Structure 1
C-alpha cells in the first residue's frame, strides 16, 4: 500500500486538487442563485436580516393591464412607494410591467390590493433574487 502511494503520489495530489476545485465551483454557483432563498427571510433562515445585511435583493416583476401612458406609470410607482419599503420601482406602460427592487419579498396580498385600489389589473407576480 505504501509503495502504491509513493508511486502515485502526484496523481493523488492532482486528483485531490481537482476535487477541491470542482467543489468550490459548485458552491459558488449555488451561492449565486441564493441557495434556494426566495427573498422571504423565513425561507433562508433569516440570514438576510443579519447584522451585516445581505448582498441579495428581491426583484419583483408585476404584469399590469391598463397602463396607457407615463402618467399611469407614475401613479402606480407612487402607490407602490407609499405602501412598501422599496429601493427602486420602474413601471413601463409599453411593456405592461413594473419592476420593483426591495430588501425583502413583498407581501403578495398587499400588492394585489394596492394595484386593485389604483384601478389597474394585476395579471401576474414574479419574485426572484437580484444582486
Structure 2
C-alpha cells in the first residue's frame, strides 16, 4: 500500500515511516497539508496519515480537501493535542471523514489496528 505521511515534525515522520515500512508499506512524506495535497496530485496513494496541528495548512483542512477531491483515498488523522493538550481535534477529524484516529504517541500495534480498521485486515499488510 502507498501511504502519504503528512506531519510538520521531522522526527515524527521518521518514526512513523519506519513503522509503516516495517509493515511493508511504501511511504511518501510531506511536511504540511499544502505540500501533501501537491503530492496527492501525482496519484497512486491508498492512504493519507495526517497530523492535525500543522503550519501552512491544518490537518482538518487537509482532511476535508482529500475527502472532497480524492474520495477513494482513506485518511487516518493523528494528533498529540497541540500546545493546549486538547485532543478534541481528533473528534472533529472523525466527524469530517477520517477513517481512524491516532493519539500521539502511538505504538506500531495501534497504527496497524488503525490501518486494519480502515481497510480490513486483508489489505492492511
Give TM-score, length-normalised by structure 2: 0.23
More helix by share: 1
Give TM-score, length-normalised by structure 1: 0.22
Question: Relative contact order, CA 8 A, sep 6+: which one is greater?
Answer: 1
